[in-house]
Amino acid sequence: MRRDTPAGEGEGAGFLPRPITVRSAAVQIADQLRAAIADGTWQPGDRLPSEHRLAEAYGVSRGTIREASRILAATNLVESTRGAAGGTFVTLPQADVVARQIGELIALWFRAGNVSVAEVNHARDVLERECVRLAALNRTEDDLAAIRRPVEDSRNTDLTSDEWLANDLEFHTAISKAAKNHVLELAMTSVHLVRPKTNALLHRVLEREPVLQQHWKIYEAIRDRDPEGAVAAFTAHFDHLSEVQRRALADRDFREMSVADITEEERPAPDVLRRRRTQPPSAPS
């Protein structure tokens, strides 16, 4: 619900504009407003001071304030409406939007070259191990359907590598949602958003069928509300991928390898993933 703050001195109480330089004034103003939203000066639904008041406070044009608002709107922190009851209102970004933004920042951080593949693997192991345990305890029927769907779809032997890996990502993301812990979901979604980079290491030796069987075992444990079984199934899956990664890297040590060292040459052709027309896992009765 939107909450209008009264115009005048009480509007945004506790928020004091700091001096800015002429260069990138809109960016500096946006940074200050973002910080004020983050520290609770304005809550979701609150209306920010008017363009006129902010322009006057900062000593800039209203066009500069509009540009600052557009910067905030691009990250889903505010939205603007017209009319007598309109203005610029603080919004609460959705978890998937925040996760995508964090994922993009993580991707940039990876490219700096100081994050190892081993660190990424360890973070995923720790986070997803808890997600599968919580998913077994907290999942709903809708969650269960969302987890099962990509496993079923992955049985299609005509899928390209990109399509098959998209199903893989959907499966693990659905588990994160089923855990019902927003902080874990946010962290895990961010990790998954950069997984295509580390997945590039696996394509030369990865076979679909073992992964499909492992996904099904994880699904079954979550379906049966068996947290210990879910953790055991995930552990087997993670250990398998670690072994595949070691074989894919051959004489390179993934513990020392930076994510930034993964080159475009290691990305697969459309159908590099090995396919085997084997009997799919039996569906639950």
Q: What is the mean pLDDT of the chain?
A: 81
Average pLDDT over residues 71-78: 88
Supply the pLDDT for residue 117. Answer: 77
d(CA 168, CA 162) in angstroms, rounded, equals 10
Q: Are strands 87-90 and 78-81 parallel, antiparallel or unpaired?
A: antiparallel
d(CA 192, CA 171) in angstroms, rounded, equals 11
d(CA 251, CA 268) in angstroms, rounded, equals 19
CB-based burial label for 277 (10 Å; 0-12, 13-18, 19+)? exposed
For residue 255, give the 3-state DSSP assignment.
coil
pTM for the model? 0.65
Supply the pLDDT for residue 274. Answer: 38
What is the per-residue pLDDT across 86-139, written as a single tens digit (0 to 9) for each?
789 999 777 667 767 776 777 777 677 677 778 888 889 999 999 999 999 999
Residue type, 145: A
The sign of the dihedral angle between the CA atoms of 276, 161, 97, 235 is positive
CB-based burial label for 198 (10 Å; 0-12, 13-18, 19+)? buried
d(CA 122, CA 129) in angstroms, rounded, equals 11
For residue 56, give the 3-state DSSP assignment.
helix
What is the per-residue pLDDT across 128-187, written as a single tens digit (0 to 9) for each?
999 999 999 999 999 999 999 999 999 998 988 888 888 998 999 999 999 999 889 888
pLDDT value at 57 more than 90 = yes
> Look-up: residue for tokens 């700096």?
112
Helix locations, the chain, DSSP H: 25-38, 51-58, 62-74, 95-111, 117-138, 141-153, 161-178, 182-193, 195-199, 208-223, 227-249
